[in-house]
Amino acid sequence: MAVSQVEPVLLCLLILCMSSVMVSSRSIRYTSPSVPRLTDGFPHVSITNGFSNAFGGSNIQVTGNGSTATLALDKSSGSGLASVNKYHYGFFSAAIKLPTGDSSGVVVAFYLSNANVFPHNHDEIDIELLGHDKRNDWIIQTNVYANGSVNTGREEKFYLWFDPTTQHHQYTIIWNNHHTVFLVDNIPVREFEHSSTFFPSKPMSVYATIWDGSEWATHGGKYPVNYKNAPFTVTFAEMEMSGCISNPNVAASCSKTPSSLDPVEGPEFVKLSSQQVTAMDWARRKLMFYSYCKDTSRFKVMPPECK
């Protein structure tokens, strides 16, 4: 083979080798620490009985006698479910399988909010799964709003230690009088302790949605949703909602008089165990890549909980 032929071949081999390294580096998966499976202690809720259609009804399919909901995003609309009841404190979980392929700009969310009741003074606890382009995998963003506008959010972002598109994984929110905890496959990734100045305090509905977040979700809106890949579908299963159901017609509130019937008031929910703390430290060291507490350009004076 002539030298002029060898050089292009070597160059091609080098490019293939570099591409292989880049792909393998993105596909590295961690073995997660062992933790108690809190999700095993709560009953699954029928989607048919526990939720109603919030928007995009034609893009919602409920199957398996109410055990699974498939939500779609296409050029006409996203879609979402809202819980029939509002809750003041509780344990909320969903097993979610995310869309495959290039999903930049797509947002899948499992969260609590009362923005429909308190549009200018609302609370919110968010798990948002942000779609990926060819450069990055899906990421999870957690956030908390309390008694104010969306300008007072407390975002943290993490990479996942698994491929969330191949099977269902559990995403969980614990919200009680002591703290708010975000968990992925029962591993705590974030604990937001109760603060008298910034803590969700009003009853909220539970939502499961998929929608177009092109303006901000992927690299600040650099990569919008490509509807050539639509429809984007996500499935929600193993829905769990256990806690204090808010009833405006009942004077006594379990938020003020917690009882042993409230599943998030047991001793295992007052604080994280040493095993959970170790697992959370692991997740934050290896997987967290953004925290508002380190964003000095956004906060000239850091919020008090950052100290």
- Mean pLDDT for the stretch of residues 289-307: 90
Nearest to 198, CA basis, from 254, 245, 154, 140: 154
Look at residue 54 and tell me whether its pLDDT is greater than 70.
yes
| % residues pLDDT > 90 (the chain) | 62
Distance CA 292, CA 306 (A): 9
Look at residue 300 and tell me whether its pLDDT is greater than 60.
yes
Encode the chain in three state secondary structure: CCHHHHHHHHHHHHHHHHHHHHHHHHCCCCCCCCCCCHHHHCCCCCHHHHEEEEECHHHEEEECCCCEEEEEECCCCCEEEEECCCEEEEEEEEEEECCCCCCCCEEEEEEEECCCCCCCCEEEEEEEEECCCCCCCCEEEEEEEEEECHHHCCCEEEECCCCCCCCCEEEEEEECCCEEEEEECCEEEEEEECCCCCCCCCCEEEEEEEEECCCCCCHHHCCCCCHHHCCEEEEEEEEEEEEEECCCCCCCCCCCCCCCCCHHHCHHHCCCCHHHHHHHHHHHHHCEEEEHHHCCCCCCCCCHHHC
Query: Any idea which residues carry the catalytic annotation?
Result: 124, 128
278 versus 247: which is more confidently predicted? Answer: 278
146 versus 255: which is more confidently predicted? Answer: 146
Least confident range from 25-34, 268-277, 298-307: namely 25-34
Query: Which residue in this structure is represented by tokens 């809750």?
Result: 87
Distance CA 285, CA 291 (A): 12
The alpha carbons of the chain give a radius of gyration, in whole angstroms, of: 21
pLDDT for the residue numbered 264: 72
- Residue 207's alpha-carbon distances to 14, 19, 31, 284, in angstroms, are 48, 39, 30, 26
Look at residue 205 and tell me whether its pLDDT is greater than 70.
yes
Distance CA 123, CA 143 (A): 11
Look at residue 230 and tell me whether its pLDDT is greater than 50.
yes
Look at residue 13 and tell me whether its pLDDT is greater than 70.
no
Average model confidence (pLDDT) across the chain: 85
Q: What is the largest CA-CA distance in the chain?
A: 89
Look at residue 28 and tell me whether its pLDDT is greater than 80.
no
pLDDT for the residue numbered 108: 98
pLDDT for the residue numbered 259: 46
pLDDT for the residue numbered 280: 98
pLDDT for the residue numbered 158: 96
Look at residue 18 and tell me whether its pLDDT is greater than 50.
no
258 versus 49: which is more confidently predicted? Answer: 49
- Mean pLDDT for the stretch of residues 6-16: 41
pLDDT for the residue numbered 150: 64
pLDDT for the residue numbered 261: 45
Distance CA 106, CA 232 (A): 8
**For the chain, which domains are there?**
42-247+256-306 (2.60.120.200)
**Residue 262 pLDDT class (50, 70, 90 cuts):** low
- Mean pLDDT for the stretch of residues 233-241: 98
Look at residue 20 and tell me whether its pLDDT is greater than 70.
no
**Residue 215 pLDDT class (50, 70, 90 cuts):** confident
194 versus 280: which is more confidently predicted? Answer: 280
The pTM score is 0.87
pLDDT digits (tens, 9 = 90+) for 80-132: 999 999 998 899 999 999 999 999 999 999 999 999 998 888 999 999 999 98
Look at residue 186 and tell me whether its pLDDT is greater than 90.
yes
pLDDT for the residue numbered 23: 35
| % residues pLDDT > 70 (the chain) | 84
